[in-house]
């Protein structure tokens, strides 16, 4: 007999499986990332309706059997849809990007309450944003995903000499994730974080997204830091994100 589990979740992917079913991936609050078969989901009168769209928040009931990777989806009730933001170019692009980051950084069957709350906060914020602000939310989400995955370091201490770096000093952050003071700065690839950038990044790690995005003066460094983050994530994952390759053709 299967073990039946109930959990809130965000939809990551769904794709056809045969003529009637769908193979779905969810990030659940209770068990982390799972893969499930939604039987009959491709039928016109499917009981799943529109609940399987990427990053819709849903309430799941599913059964799992020992030794089997796939679970069987019994019921999926929509809590909140992202249809209102997924229809804009900025919203759709950011949704696919967030899905890919969660898919890459979150191992199967490892719950992570902080990532779940980050997704909920980011999607709530996305509903109020337009245009350029979506890029700031992308930066916010990227930094937090790297931080929660253990890849974005504190930049208050030099990794080379071990000395503390004053908040009034710049920091060199390499693509290997090593912060270095001005005296130890290597010739490797990376970015120099000015005192202004460090101040705004400290705020990012302590404020909800809508408050951080409302700050002023960040436009002078955001583009440069976004470029660094793209390269940094590629180094961490040892590959380029699919959403980044897509941006190259947009």
Which DSSP state fits 88? S
Residues of the chain with CATH 1.20.1440.120: 84-247
pLDDT band at 86 (very low <50, low <70, confident <90, very high): low
Q: Name, in order, each residue with C-beta under 8 angstroms of 75's C-beta and a sequence gap of 6 or more.
A: 47, 59, 60, 61
Q: What is the pLDDT of residues 33-77, one digit of tens each?
A: 999 999 999 887 888 888 899 999 999 999 998 878 899 999 999
Q: What is the pLDDT of residues 117-141, one digit of tens each?
A: 999 999 999 988 876 788 999 999 9
Query: In three state form, how does the secondary structure of 152-191 look?
Result: CCCCCECCCCCCECCCCCCEEEECCCCEECCCCCCCCCEE
Residues of the chain with CATH 2.40.50.140: 3-81
Q: In what order do the strands lie in the sheet with 179-180?
A: 179-180, 171-174, 190-193
Identify the architecture of domain 84-247 in CATH.
Up-down Bundle (1.20)
Task: Supply the pTM of this predicted model.
Answer: 0.93
What is the Cα–Cα distance from 12 to 53, expressed in whole angstroms?
8
Q: What is the pLDDT of residues 153-172, one digit of tens each?
A: 999 999 999 999 999 999 99
What is the Cα–Cα distance from 60 to 63, expressed in whole angstroms?
10
What is the Cα–Cα distance from 37 to 47, expressed in whole angstroms?
14
Task: Note the CATH number of domain 3-81.
Answer: 2.40.50.140
What is the Cα–Cα distance from 43 to 18, expressed in whole angstroms?
11
């Amino acid at each position: 007999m299967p073990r039946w589990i109930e959990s809130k979740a965000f939809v990551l992917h769904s794709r056809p499986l045969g003529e009637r079913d769908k193979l779905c991936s969810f990030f659940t609050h209770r068990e982390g990332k799972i893969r499930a078969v939604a039987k009959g989901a491709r039928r016109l009168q499917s009981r799943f309706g529109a609940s399987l769209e990427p990053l819709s928040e849903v309430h799941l009931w599913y059964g799992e059997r020992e030794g089997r990777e796939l679970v069987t989806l019994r019921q999926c009730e929509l809590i909140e849809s992202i249809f209102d933001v997924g229809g804009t170019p900025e919203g759709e692009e950011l949704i696919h990007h967030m899905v890919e980051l969660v898919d890459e950084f979150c191992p199967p069957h490892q719950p992570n309450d902080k990532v779940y709350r980050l997704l909920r906060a980011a999607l709530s914020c996305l509903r109020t944003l337009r245009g350029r602000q979506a890029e700031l939310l992308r930066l916010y989400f990227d930094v937090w995903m790297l931080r929660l995955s253990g890849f974005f370091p504190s930049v208050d201490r030099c990794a080379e000499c071990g000395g503390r770096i004053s908040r009034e000093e710049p920091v060199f952050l390499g693509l290997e994730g090593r912060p270095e003071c001005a005296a130890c700065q290597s010739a490797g690839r990376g970015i120099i974080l000015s005192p202004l950038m460090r101040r705004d990044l400290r705020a990012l790690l302590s404020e909800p997204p809508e408050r951080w995005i409302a700050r002023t003066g960040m436009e002078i460094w955001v583009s440069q830091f976004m470029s660094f983050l793209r390269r940094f994530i590629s180094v961490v994952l040892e590959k380029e994100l699919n959403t980044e390759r897509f941006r190259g053709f947009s």
